[in-house]
Chain A
Amino acid sequence: MMKILVCDDDEALVSMVRFKLSRENFGEVFKAADGREAKRLLDENTFDLIISDIHMPFHSGLEIVTHVRQVLKKNTPIIILSAEGLEETVLQAFDMGANDFITKPFSPAELAIRVKRLLNL
């Protein structure tokens, strides 16, 4: 069974994404409300996909990408989900190793398709 981690401090959004991904039968969806919790879960588990916001308490989404790529040395697909759609931020995210970038507001249906593609389903 696939394991997906959703990191965002917006409870309503996390709840919706979890519901959507569960309905699509993508696997078990875990949540982290801040960067510290996300790091802890990443250190303790192996995920098949990570969806993360950029602006979170304690550690940003970009720090999470760096942690996965440089500390954990994993190539887990990462989708950055952010309200900040500046070209510079998008390029920085991809440069650090993110696989996809979705700007808020986003369509849950579009997110599901992108997740499906990254999970090769």
Chain B
Amino acid sequence: MMYEQWVSAYGITAEEKVFIFIGMFFFIAAFLFITFILISRFTKNNRQQHEVALRNHFQRSLNAIIIMETTSAVPDSSYRFKIESLKNVMKQSSFARQVMANQLVALKKTISGSSSKILERIYIELDLHSYSIRKLKRGSWKMKAQGIRELTELNYTDAIHSIRNFLTANNKTLREETFLALVRLDQDKPLSFLDHYTGELTPWMRINIHYHLSKSDSRRIPDFSQWFTSSNLDVVLFSLSMARQLRQTSAVTKLPELLSHSDVRVVALTLETITELEAYDLADVVAEKTATFWNNEKISARLVRCLGRISYTHEHKQAILTYLDHPDYNVRFYAAKALYTLDDEARNMLQDFNRGMNGILSGIINHISEPLLQ
């Protein structure tokens, strides 16, 4: 009513009314938007301040518990009192519990020894392990992954069974977290789940597993050849690369059958593994495969390099010789290099072949015999 009076008093036209409406709409929208931003900023700041206060409080208590427990005979009542006071603070909200869990995880990453064991004890005494396990039942994969990370970092081995369920999760990150958690938590058989694993093994998983295994006790490292016959191609490839990197000579006896594998990546990696492990016992088997892989230049190049490392009979050198007129330059190059570096007999075989072929390999021989390129 007032608006109508105001409009008629000033003699505003219909078009001007539209502009006023639009202007008012934008003004109110801007006002609401700014108010929303200010409120969210205020809430966020409050939350951050609360988090800092909680973190400082928890850190002081943790310092006291960890250092006193490791340096002197402090009465158990003092320890109990500190734990109870922490429990009282954490009862207030799940936010406080999360801050404490984050604090424990962060500290666990930086300290080791008896202090680290105390952190694991505190985690259980504060019942934070139940809090992390509850996260595994949440709908969001992020919460589940966070729960797994907390349980893993604080070495809660009783959770292995619950974590194992996520090996087949749809979310890739969750699967990766699960995989790594099992490697770290399962002390006796860190990779036992590979027996039935049907999923993908991403480069991230492979790098992290290698990192953790290389840091752990060598007695914990399994014999990777047990997974060479897995129906999961990723598991076979991973096992082969691990056997190669960890130089597991026990795997040598199981390598020949992989040379007949239907997947060329497995054959290629098997040849690289034989080369790396310097499995002289397999030179005959590899030499026999020359005809089989002649048409595949990538496999041929690996096969020739492999023979160049493990050959010791005339027949082996003869097998390399057949590759000197291969249509692919790389294969010819590696074959010539293999013969040149093997021994005098092989080198003579190479020179004879070259002469017989009117010096077709002279360029390659000049290159590999150049002292500066050795």
- A residues touching B (Cβ–Cβ < 8 Å)? 10-13, 15-16, 19-20, 23-24, 83, 104-110
Contact = CB atoms under 8 A, between A and B. Distances in A.
Interface in B65-92: 66-68, 70-71
Contacts of B62: 16
A16 B71 CA distance: 13
B106 A16 contact: no
Given A12-B103, A109-B114, A109-B115, A104 B67 contact: no
A52 B202 CA distance: 36
A82 to B, nearest CB: 11
A107 B67 contact: no
Contacts of A105: 108-112, 116
A79 to B, nearest CB: 15
Contact of A104 (B64, B109, B113): B109
B110 A10 contact: yes
B3 to A, nearest CB: 57
Interface residue SS majority, chain B: helix
Contact of B70 (A11, A13, A15, A108): A108
Interface of B: 55, 59-60, 62-64, 66-68, 70-71, 103, 106-116
Contact of B107 (A12, A19, A107, A110): A12
Contact of B66 (A11, A16, A83, A110): A16
11 contacts: A12-B59, A15-B60, A16-B62, A16-B63, A106-B111, A107-B112, A107-B113, A107-B115, A107-B116, A109-B70, A110-B113
A20 B67 contact: yes
Given A10-B106, A12-B59, A105-B109, A23 B67 contact: yes
B64 A16 contact: no
Given A10-B110, A15-B59, A108 B103 contact: no
Contacts of B113: 106-110
A19 B64 contact: yes
B112 A16 contact: no
Count chain B CB atoms within 10 A of each CB in A12, A104, A106, A109 and give the residue with the most: A12
A92 B109 CA distance: 24
Nearest to A107: B113
B182 to A, nearest CB: 21
A86 to B, nearest CB: 13
Contacts of A83: 110
B82 to A, nearest CB: 14
A23 B60 CA distance: 13
A107 B70 CA distance: 10
A13 B71 contact: no
B110 A13 contact: yes
A23 B110 contact: no
Nearest to A10: B110
Contacts of B116: 105, 107
A13 B55 CA distance: 12
Q: 6 closest A-B pairs (Cβ-Cβ)?
A: A107-B113, A19-B63, A105-B112, A13-B110, A15-B59, A104-B110
B194 to A, nearest CB: 28
B114 A107 contact: yes
A4 B116 CA distance: 24
A110 B55 CA distance: 25
B42 to A, nearest CB: 24
In the complex, which of the residues A16, A23, A110 has the most CB atoms of chain B within 10 Å of its own CB atom? A16
A112 to B, nearest CB: 8
Among B59, B62, B67, B116, residue most surrounded by chain A Cβ atoms (within 10 Å): B67
A103 to B, nearest CB: 9
Contact of B71 (A10, A11, A23, A110): A23
B71 A107 contact: no
Contacts of A16: 59, 62-63, 66-67, 107, 111
Nearest to A81: B110
B319 to A, nearest CB: 40
Nearest to A18: B63
